[in-house]
Structure 1
């Protein structure tokens, strides 16, 4: 690779470790089957604490995890019908974040204009999704399509990943097929070659040729040559801010990213093995055994090695943010440019507007009028 490209990679890499997200996209925050009716849980989406709850009708909602009255965390409250009730004074907020009841106000007392920020929320592909950006952008942004999800005969394995690292580090790990050396004791891939690379303002598509040998190819049902080696094309498509990766004729992997903060990233992953096709009634019998086995002994063993490297990379960067690096994979450089560009576009677009995460609670003298004298008198008796 030319020196100019390498030096450019060094500059971008340092910058990409300090950026935030573009909030104008859908992000997964919780597994849908883990959020029960009437339950409220706290989640964090790029340093924003959010209370996610499922109302009595089964619909999920998301509010800023801070009561506009005293700032108490709303996830410590309870769900009542479609409302979230603050645990401190019992103020009730509907799914739009509007205060609809204060239990100690007389029935004819005007409620204060005290709104908790609400977030567009969807339940799809077994996940709860939240849109943290400008709600006006929701019609323009789509949750990534997962067509395999509707195929009941295709084995699906949900996987949770938690990394103590910036989201750029975890995203680079997924794009980087040249680290098969790390997994050599697991009979991972070898002899990788980058075949094709395409980049747009919000995506990177990279195709690699990789080779496998050993028990892994037998488990995946791959044919091998006389030397016990099989070669496949791995296609990795990053469409900001999520991934879809496929191995030719073998698997389809969706990695939906949740950037928690500068030092933590989570991944909601769906692994599909199309070649493991079983009738639905058979899958219902073997899934409780097969899914944990594949997750633990096939996927997690690789992921745990990746996590160790990603977290090591994060620690070294935090110790010396000015350290220079040499990147030689064009796909990583392309990915870094997309990440930086997306953040800079958001900053530029919002520079003349109020930041979407900053809400002003404006009260007029009328809206914050004291309790009626009759109420005060009653309370003092």
Structure 2
């Protein structure tokens, strides 16, 4: 559905800062090459603590990060072959979460019925993905399609972000091209114009016309000369729960959002850039160029965004009743989508009391508690 691009003051309800996630999607939790065989790492998807381990054969597994025996965090344990052993008593659990060994039990003694919840997990694009919702839906839910990955015409830079803010604040920042003012000392973009806005049941797509100039713009291929002003179209799509954006003929960004809790989020982004240098030269310098570009270019922009997003979160916590005015209809559409996806999950979970539905009792209970206050979002109230 095509939406108006007019910039008009609208009042938004702060309930968007309280909603949880729809867990029936694949969420990125880490870089695959950072987890070696026989290693374990803790991750968190919307207050669900998960232990991810790579067994001796290289296979990934994800278990609830709580031993069924004493509740000790399983990520503190050790990998024994294809199993994960709890650090406390050495109870071993296989990739499905079943207890398969207790070291002080005689071989012939029957093991107790103890099981840690397991999660669907996979790796693609050098990213580890976990499906925290109904496991029966995992195979029908697809990952983002990243056509540029391993494409010889693009140079890729992975970027990791961590934010002390609700994921809705982070998502609005990603959709908001009007904040180029924040990055002006980094030779960011300027004079943005929202030219197109479209909305579907699970996506929001916006096109902006933006201008660039400066040495960084020249290096990135946005302008022939540093003082030359070049105007291009930036397309940003929020396809729940992740982002994709592109700058015509120059670059693409895939941003995978990880909501960790009400005031904590992370992101795993892949930035693809066309650089006018020989491909063999770029590939040979990749181990050096990737961290340099991440730290000295992209993280400079991201750190400025982090400061603003965390400030926004702190002010919200100071006074959750304060009302705010938004003029960008793309932000309103993103808020509407976040609330809609969460409400769909809450409705589904309230209709099913089956403990095998794939959602932990704590997660469903928390979701229902959140739903007790309707997540209203007003989009038609002009201000002033």
Aligned to 1:28: 28
What's the CA shift for 1:222? 3.0
Q: Any gaps of 5 or more consecutive residues in structure 1?
A: 360-381
What's the CA shift for 1:274? 2.5
Aligned to 2:361: 358
Give 3-state SS (helix, strand or coil) of 1:255's partner.
Answer: strand
Equivalent pairs counted in the alignment come to 355
Aligned to 1:50: 50
What's the CA shift for 1:301? 1.2
Worse-matched range after superposition: 295-304 or 52-61: 295-304
What's the CA shift for 1:258? 0.7
Alignment of structure 1 residues 1-381 onto 2, 5 Å: 6-7=9-10, 9-11=11-13, 14-223=14-223, 228-276=228-276, 278-279=278-279, 281-354=280-353, 356-358=359-361
Aligned to 2:368: none
Output the CA distance in 2 between the equivalents of 1:258 and 1:100.
32
Shift of the 213–47 alpha-carbon distance from structure 1 to 2, 3 Å rule, reads: same
Shift of the 153–228 alpha-carbon distance from structure 1 to 2, 3 Å rule, reads: closer
Shift of the 290–70 alpha-carbon distance from structure 1 to 2, 3 Å rule, reads: same
Shift of the 227–276 alpha-carbon distance from structure 1 to 2, 3 Å rule, reads: closer
Shift of the 227–220 alpha-carbon distance from structure 1 to 2, 3 Å rule, reads: closer
Structure 1 runs of 4+ off > 4 angstroms? 224-227
Output the CA distance in 2 between the equivalents of 1:68 and 1:227.
63
Confirm or deny: 8 A CA contact 2:218 2:225 kept in the other structure. no
Output the CA distance in 1 between the equivalents of 2:277 and 2:126.
20
Worse-matched range after superposition: 290-299 or 112-121: 290-299
Give 3-state SS (helix, strand or coil) of 1:149's partner.
Answer: coil
Q: Any gaps of 5 or more consecutive residues in structure 2?
A: 363-384
Deviations 1:240-296 (A, max 9, x none): 0000010011110010011111111100010000235543x4234212332222222
Higher relative contact order (CA 8 A, sep 6+): 2
What's the CA shift for 1:153? 4.5
What's the CA shift for 1:326? 0.4
What's the CA shift for 1:34? 0.7
What's the CA shift for 1:6? 4.2
* TM-score, normalised relative to structure 1: 0.89
Deviations 1:148-180 (A, max 9, x none): 112145211011001111000000001000111
Confirm or deny: 8 A CA contact 2:173 2:305 kept in the other structure. yes
What's the CA shift for 1:15? 1.0
What's the CA shift for 1:214? 1.2
Give 3-state SS (helix, strand or coil) of 2:298's partner.
Answer: helix
What's the CA shift for 1:236? 0.2
Confirm or deny: 8 A CA contact 1:245 1:254 kept in the other structure. yes
Output the CA distance in 1 between the equivalents of 2:89 and 2:299.
45
